Structure 1
Amino acid sequence: MNLVINELKLQWIEMRQYWFETITSLGFLLVMFLGVFFGIKGFVLQQGDNQTLDSLIFGFLLWTFASTAYGSITRSVIEDTQKGYIEQLFMCPKGFVGLMLSRSLADIIPSLITVTLMAYLVMFITGNWLNINFLAMYATLLLSAPSLVGFALILCGLTLVYKKIETVSAVLSLLLMGLVAIDGLPFNAFSLLPFASGATMAKNIALLNEPFIMTHLLIVSANSLVYLGFGIFIFKFFEKKAKRLNLIGQY
């Protein structure tokens, strides 16, 4: 818990120090989404399908959260490797994985606040007001976030060995749009993908106000546990390889 608190303090310090970067990043996401929204709004209204616009707004919120959960530790490891002090992080008493998990949780908590603010801002600008159950959305996103963290740990392991994977990371960030758009529930082949079932469950409960289904909860929980465990396993594999080849302190 102390690690999480310290990481939250660090997040706050960096946000204040680099406030311009924080604002411009959020502004870029907002402008990008509004361009897509108003670009298809006319076509959708001609079809008389307002639900598509609602799903688009909610999908944007899910993608914003997923990008943070997935990209926080990946970006952190890449930057720490480039700055040359990644080796020092391995001296953390809680272990490097424990540090990364704490850092991820510290990034996820503020992202829920960001998603909430973005939700009202987007709804105000677009005029599409959604009846979102934020409490249900928070619970579902927190439950499904470990699957994204596990996937990010795999990329962190690759970073230790191959150093530069920014292109792969950027492409996978875009693929997150597909994960929040596909139907991962009820159980199907898409349910095996990270976060897909969690995104569908969040949409069903928080946006469509569908009843809670226990089997869906089990699917999302299993997906999170499997990907988190698999991510830690793969990261440990690449960590051992990097140490054996003396690559951790090199860039």
Structure 2
Amino acid sequence: MTTMLSVPALASPGWANAFGNEVGKGMRELVAGWRAVLAEMITFPVFYLLIVMFMGRGKLLEELLVPVLIGLVGLAFIHEQINRVFWSYLGDLQSGVLEQTYLTPLPSAVVVLGRQVAAVIGALPVVAALLATGFVAVTVQGGMFPFEPAVLVPAAAIVVGTCGLALVLCGLTLVFKRIESITQASVAVYAIIGGTLVPLSALPDPVAAASRALIPVAPGIEAARAMLLDSATLTDLGTVWGLGWLLLQPILLTAAGVVVFNRLERVAKSRGTLGRY
């Protein structure tokens, strides 16, 4: 007599349904919070124009409009992805429904990544509002708004790398309760040393190297600026670590995020505090 052992495959209908449910849950939260999305579509462009005016000493200088826009687009993605996923996961923890995560065939880390899909979609209206504002500002001043289809590669690198960072923060909240301030402070750190407002080349070498290594938006923003402002190509970005690191960094960050999340989850389970807040 033979015994058949069934191992759930990643592409099985059960896994696909569970992943789709998490995406759907994130989308429902996004629709329910449409007022917050609308507010961000207004505040991010206003913040963008104020930053340019501050850096231009009260003037919307054409030479600042595109570089600052590229940085703020990256910052918008990391802000939306981290906050939406973190607060969604924390909401499950606070309301006592986190255990539902373990009723699906998916590993819990993959469940969190499912919510990232909805977070990325939620970031798109904000990014679109920023790009529209930048386009109008550049056009009004008689400039040409740069566009290069290959810039979607750095954008994708930012999105994928940020998934790993969100996993780390969600794992931390399982072990260390009330870490909301860390999430907010981390976005400020990315804005200061992540190359969003000040190019990495203008930062001290050790700080720039740490940013390229650890901050998901840093290589993508640097590559996007090289492509849109200096006419660089994907294979010749003219940056310190180039295309190889642009593609490798987000993969490493996401893999590290999965490992750290699983480790912190095991710690919470061993302490019996998985669903406690």
TM category, shorter: 0.7 to 0.9
The CA distance in 2 between the partners of 1:105 and 1:174, in whole Å, is 23
Q: Which has the larger radius of gyration?
A: 2
Cα deviation for residue 97 of structure 1 reads 0.8
Structure 1 residues 193, 130: closer, same or farther in 2, change over 3 A? Answer: farther
Is 1:183–2:200 an aligned residue pair? yes
Is 1:250–2:276 an aligned residue pair? yes
Structure 1 residues 130, 194: closer, same or farther in 2, change over 3 A? Answer: farther
| Aligned 1:43-82 pairs, distance under 5 A | 50-82=62-94
The CA distance in 2 between the partners of 1:143 and 1:36, in whole Å, is 25
Is 1:159–2:159 an aligned residue pair? no
What SS does the corresponding residue of 1:212 show, helix, strand or coil?
coil
Query: What amino acid does structure 2 have at the position aligned with 1:245?
Result: R
> What residue number does 2:254 align with?
228
Query: What amino acid does structure 2 have at the position aligned with 1:16?
Result: V
Cα deviation for residue 189 of structure 1 reads 4.7
Structure 1 residues 213, 194: closer, same or farther in 2, change over 3 A? Answer: same
Is 1:194–2:215 an aligned residue pair? yes
Cα deviation for residue 247 of structure 1 reads 0.8
| Aligned 1:93-172 pairs, distance under 5 A | 93-124=105-136, 127=140, 131-133=145-147, 135-172=149-186
Is 1:209–2:231 an aligned residue pair? yes
Greater helix content? 1
Cα deviation for residue 200 of structure 1 reads 0.8
What SS does the corresponding residue of 1:42 show, helix, strand or coil?
coil
Specify every segment of 5 or more residues in structure 2 that has no aligned partner in the other structure, as ranges: 1-15, 202-207
Aligned length: 247
What SS does the corresponding residue of 2:57 show, helix, strand or coil?
helix
Specify every segment of 5 or more residues in structure 1 that has no aligned partner in the other structure, as ranges: none
User: Which deviates more, 22-31 or 193-202?
Assistant: 22-31
Identity %: 21
The CA distance in 2 between the partners of 1:125 and 1:3, in whole Å, is 44
Cα deviation for residue 246 of structure 1 reads 1.0
